[in-house]
Structures are given as structure tokens and as C-alpha cells.
Amino acid sequence: MASSSSNLISLKTSDGTVFKVERALAKTMKTVQAIIEEADANIYMIPIHNVFSHHMDMIIDYYKLSVAGKSKEFSVEKLDNDELKDFLLAVHYLNMEDLFEVLTQAVADRLEKKSVGYVRKYFGIENDFTPEEYAAIRKKNDWAFKGDDIEPEEDEEKQEE
Amino acid sequence: MEETTASTGTLTLTGDDSFQTQRSIPFDLAAEILSKLSVKFLLKFSTTCKSWNSLIHDPKFIKKHLRVSTKRHRLITTTCIPSKKFTVMSYPLHSLPFNSIFNVNATQYEYSPVNLDYHDRLVVSCDGIICFAINQNLAVLWNPSIGKFKTLPTLYTPKDGDDDGHTVYGFGYDPFIDNYKVVSLFYYNVYACKTEVSVYSLGNDCWRRIEDFPPLIPYSQQGVFVCGTVNWLAYYDLDNNDYYRSYAIVSLDLENETYHEISQPDYGGVIDKLTLTLMRDCLCVFSHSDSFDDVWIMKEFGNVESWVKLVRIPRFSNRCLYFDNTKILYVFEDDNHVLLLMEEKFKLKWVVYDSKNDTVKCTKLQDFCWVESKVYVESLLSP
């Protein structure tokens, strides 16, 4: 399936779907743009790893809104935290500046009230503090753990029972 | 414009289509997310692991976080009843309906005042650090979000007869050395135009005296830091002719440590009083006449053609020229709404003025006491 029109670029997602997108949209994906420039001649089809078709659907939605000057209307509310993370990883891979800013902020907003334990799992981080080190640093920042709607830590939850 | 075509075709799932819910996030991406958190949550998550804890102390990350934070203006307010109560609160100024500024997301900070029988006066806030003037020999710096406090070395001030003199402080960023400075302008014996100007750089342990202020009489509550300079209002007229003062904006170049004058806009009428401040990172003048206050900003520092009038605020309700202590706190991004702090019959009112519709709405009311209310942004910077 050669892209006959020079204004459309063919992108193939991880799940095998081919999207024909405007060159202008492809330009917002720095990773894709680099591939196009390196290829020099007419590029046939660009595979985009780690990006699924449902990600592309949202990317196209965002593009349409931002072209119409309505980028503020773009919402990721319907995505749960893990779906949002996956979408962010896809956009990060594609290196799309504006959408990246929107998604990193959305993730930050979602994580604010979460517990440290949740955040470790979400990011895939190990707690490399010794129990003494953790106790010290936790004590120093204890005020930061308090507030309305903040998810309690796992160790605190046990104490409450 | 051509429509994008999404040919959905047949979804063929490859081998690893398992929707992994716990993919880990690379460190650089984590840092991007963290830079968008407010300080409190950043500090909480610094307990996640060692690399995240190091991150919040990393100067590059602190700068990155500040760049994001600078767009989120807040209002920091100190209320003081000497030897009884000193409260510090901050409120969000961005992306909210104006009436809820004081009701949503208010943050309180713990602060132990230095003055017992007077108030620690909030001079200005820059990049998350607040400068308090304790008295004419002492200032302190404080970052309320991280709880770090720094007492400056004592400023020596000469005595000349009975006149104790007066110190005007200024605090801000010096791009020439990529560091923050406090500049003190001490003036005494106004008839002889005696002044002493000193500079303190963050990290140093003493004040350094520089060239004296030019022979004018300083008339500012603070030195305003803009584009590598510090600016004050001053006036020439010494004949006690209060009604026709000739004001000048005196600017100190932080690199050369020399003074020159900044040209003012054409105010277009008789002006009784001026106030110099910072707004939107630009030098800003409020020109006060008996029927209105105008807000002027110098969009391009040093270029007299770039003075622009942002908004006009007429005198309304019981405001009186000579005892009017109305403070213009903030002009919202729409260039239309203005946040003001007014005194009225032993009460303090924070009001939002809508200049298009010429309406005023009171958003907060409290009993009169010593109050300062300034624009503030959060940061991780240590004073």
C-alpha cells in the first residue's frame, strides 16, 4: 500500500492498523519526522512501535482540536490511570511536544493524592531506602503526607485497623 | 484542509498484545511528570526512592520545576496582629472563577515572626522565596513551600543626629551571576540626600556596599528587580511642595552597578502619586490621580515606546485620595479583571474589579490588621 498522495504519510501501529495521516500531523511527531528525513526518498510505510490504534485515534482527535484552536477541549478523563500511562508512553516515544505537555500534566494531576506505595508501583520503582533512611526522610516530610483526600500509605492503613 | 483518513482495516494483534498494566516509566519521563507537581506532593514523592530524592535537590530540576511553576501565580498574604497572631496563607490566582480564589486550594504556612511588637513586613516574593523586612538593619529570606529560612547578616547603617533613616529592600534574580540578590537602599538626612546602597548575594555572608544612590529622594516601598536591574521611584523636589512632585524612575544596573533614569510613559493628565512594582515580569507603574488609577507596564525594559496602559481603575465607593490605601495586587490574564485590596471602615476587603462592565465584587473580608498581599509562585529554591 504505497502512499500515493505526497500529502499523506502511512503509519502502522503495533496492532497492525495503518493510518494515513496528513504530513502536518506527522511533523508533530519528531520521531516519525526523523525517519522521513533520513529516508530521503518516498517512504513506504512507517511502523510506530509501542503505539496502538486507540492511541492514534486520540492523537488524531487532539490534532484536529488544536488545528481548530480548541486544544483546551481535549480530555483524557475517560482513560484510567494505566491507560493514561500507556498513552503517555506512546506519545513520549513519538516525541510530540504539545500533547506530551498535556499528558504529563494530566498524570501529575492524577498522582497528587495517591500514596507513595501506589506511585512506586505505577512507575515501576523499587524502594531503595533502608528502613532507617526511609523513617528519617518520612519524618522530615511528614507534613507533606497530610491533607484532605490524600490516600493513606499502606503502613498507615494497617495502623488504623 | 485535507481530512485525515484513518483506515481502520482489520485489527491484527501481534504476539505481545497483552496489555501490560505495570510498564515502568523511564527516569527522564518521570522527571517531566514530577516537574509538574506542586511542591508539597513533590516532597512527598521524594520519599519514593533515592534517585527521586536526589532529583529534587538537583539545580537543573529545580529550574525546570520553577519554569512550570512560574505560570501558576498565587497570592501570598500575611496578616499580623503584633504579639498575638501572624498568619501566612497562599491562594491560587490562575484558572479559577474569581470569587473562589480565597475558598479553594488555600494553603497555610507555619511562620514564627521575628518582630514581636511590630510586623515582619513582606516586601516581595521572587521565584518562591519571600523577603521580609524586619527592620532597617535586618531582612530575612524564606521559602514557605519547603520551609527553609535564612537570616541575612546585619546591615550596618550610619546614624546622623536624630534621624534614624529608612531602609528600602529589594529582592530578585540577577541574570549576570545566575543568583539571587537582596539590595538595600538606606537613606537618611534627606536634605543632604545621604544614602547608602548595599548588595547581598545568596550564599554570601556579608553585605557589600556599592555606589550611593543619585541625589534624589527615594520614594519606594521596595526595589523592583527587572531584567538585571533594580528600580526605585524617587523625586527631585525638596521644597515640600507635595502637590507637584517631579518623579523619576531610578534604575541600578546590576552588572555595572551604575544608575540611570528610566523614561516614564505619558500619563495623560495630572498625576498625584505613583507606585512602582513588577507585573508579568515587566516594570510596572500605577499612576494615581483623583479620579482613577492606571496600570502601565513597560513591555520591553528600557524602551520608552513600549509602555502600555493595561487597565484603568476608577475611584469607586468611599475611596478618598489622601487616605486611600487601596493596593492594586494583580491584573488577570484577560487584561480586564483586577484584584484590589481596599481598606474601609476598619475592614479589609479583597475585591475584583471588572473594567469592561465597571463592576466590583468583594471576594474576601476581614477585620483590619497589618496585611501584605503579593504575587507568589512555588519553588524548591533554598534561600
Residue pLDDT, tens place only, B62-87: 999 999 999 999 999 999 988 888 99
> What average pLDDT does chain B have?
88
| Single-letter code of the amino acid located at B22 | Q
Instruction: Give the neighbor-by-neighbor strand order of the sheet with B337-344.
Output: B327-331, B337-344, B347-354, B359-367
| CB-based contact, A19 to chain B, within 8 Å | yes
Angstrom CA distances, B214 to B197, B251, B275, stand at: 10, 10, 19
Please check whether residue A71 touches B, CB under 8 A: no
Q: Check CB contact under 8 Å for B24 and A124.
A: yes
Residue B38: pLDDT over 70: yes
Of the partner residues A86, A116, A121, the one whose CB lies closest to the CB of residue B44: A116
Joined together, the cell numbers standing for residue A147 give 491533607
Share of chain B above pLDDT 70, in %: 89
Convert the pLDDT of each residue in A113-160 to its tens digit. 899 999 999 999 999 999 999 999 999 998 889 877 788 887 654 444
Can you name the residues that pair with B359 across neighbouring β-strands? B354
B321 pLDDT above the threshold of 60: no
Q: What's the confidence (pLDDT) of residue B319?
A: 58
Query: Which of A125, A142, A151, A153 to mutate to test binding with chain B, by most B CBs within 10 Å of its CB?
Result: A125
Across the interface, of B22, B40, B49, the residue whose CB is closest to A144 is B40
pLDDT in the model for residue B97: 84
A156 touches chain B (CB under 8 A): no
Residues of A whose CB is below 8 A from B5: 8, 20
Give the mean pLDDT of B357-377.
92
Cα separation, B270 vs B288, whole angstroms: 9
pLDDT of B238: 60
Residues 51-70 on A with a CB inside 8 Å of B are 53, 56-57, 60, 63-64, 67
Please name which of A17, A35, A18, A19 lies closest in space to residue B3, comparing C-alpha atoms. A19
Residue of A19, A125, A141 with shortest CB distance to B43: A141
Q: What is the spatial distance between Cα A11 and Cα A53, in angstroms, rounded to a whole number?
A: 10
Integer CA distances (angstroms), B195 to A131, B55, B164, B238, B364, in order: 57, 44, 12, 15, 40
Task: Work out the average pLDDT over B301-314.
Answer: 95
| Three-class DSSP category at B200 | strand
**Percentage of chain A lying above the pLDDT 70 cut:** 90
Predicted pLDDT at B376 = 96
Angle between helical axes of A81-94 and A97-111 (0-180°, round to 10):
150
Single-letter amino acid code for the residue at B236: Y
Whether pLDDT at B23 is above 90 = no
Query: What residues of A are in contact with residue B43 (Cβ under 8 Å)?
Result: 141, 144
Q: What is the pLDDT of residues B181-215, one digit of tens each?
A: 999 999 988 777 889 999 999 999 999 999 999 99
Give pLDDT < 70 ranges for chain A. 1-6, 40-42, 155-161
pLDDT of residue B17: 40
Cα distance between the two ends of chain B: 53
Rounded Cα distance, A77 and A13, in Å: 23
Q: Does A144 touch chain B (CB under 8 A)?
A: yes
The residue whose grid cell reads 498513552 is A87
Res. B32: pLDDT tops 70: yes
Nearest CA in chain B to A5: B2
Strand partners, B244: none
Q: Which residues, in sequence order, are CB contacts of B314 under 8 Å at separation 6+?
A: B291, B292, B358
Residue B303 phi/psi, 5-degree rounding, is: -100, 105
Look at residue B4 in the predicted model and tell me its pLDDT.
40
Subunit contact A144:B43, Cβ cutoff 8 A: yes
Residues A120, B49: C-beta atoms closer than 8 Å: yes
pLDDT at residue B222 tops 60: yes
| Residue type present at position B297 | I
DSSP-assigned letters across all residues of A11-22: EE-TTS-EEEEE
**Count of alpha carbons within 13 Å of B64, Cβ hemisphere only?**
15
The number of residues making up chain A comes to 161
Q: Which residue of B has its CA nearest to A1?
A: B7
Give residue B100's pLDDT: 87
Q: Residue A120 corresponds to which cell in the numbers above?
A: 512506586
Yes or no, beta carbons of B21 and A82 under 8 Å apart: yes
Q: How far is CA B308 from CA B266, B304, B330, in A?
A: 10, 10, 16
Are A55 and A13 a contacting pair, CB within 8 Å?
Answer: yes
Q: Is A118 within 8 Å of chain B by CB? A: no
d(CA A33, CA A9): 10
Q: What is the pTM of this model?
A: 0.88
| Among A104, A154, A156, the residue to mutate for chain B (most B Cβ within 10 A) | A104
Supply B265's cell numbers. 510613559
Which strand (E) or helix (H) includes residue B169? strand B166-174
* B332-338 contacts at long range (C-beta below 8 A, 24 or more positions apart): B332/B93, B332/B98, B335/B310, B335/B311, B336/B311, B337/B98, B338/B295, B338/B311, B338/B313
Residue B149: all three cell numbers together: 529560612
Per-residue pLDDT tens digits for B110-129: 999 998 888 999 999 999 99
C-alpha cell at B366: 476581614
Interface of B with A (CB under 8 A): 1-2, 4-14, 17, 19, 21-25, 29-30, 32-38, 40-41, 43-50, 52-53
Residues 24 to 53 of A: which have CB under 8 A from any B CB?
A: 25, 53
> Does pLDDT of B176 surpass 80?
yes
pLDDT at A4: 45
List % helix, strand, coil for chain A (3-state, nearest 5). Answer: 55, 5, 35
User: Which residue in A61, A119, A117 sits closest to A85, CA to CA?
Assistant: A119
Place of cell 525517519: A35
Is residue B239 over pLDDT 80? no
Report CB contact under 8 Å: B22, A119: no
CA distances for B252 relative to A39, B4, B49, B61, B303, angstroms: 55, 56, 45, 31, 16
- Residues B198 and B155: beta-carbon distance below 8 Å: yes
pLDDT in tens, B243-300: 556 889 999 999 999 999 999 999 988 888 899 999 999 999 999 888 889 999 999 9
User: H helices then E strands: how many in chain B?
Assistant: 4, 25
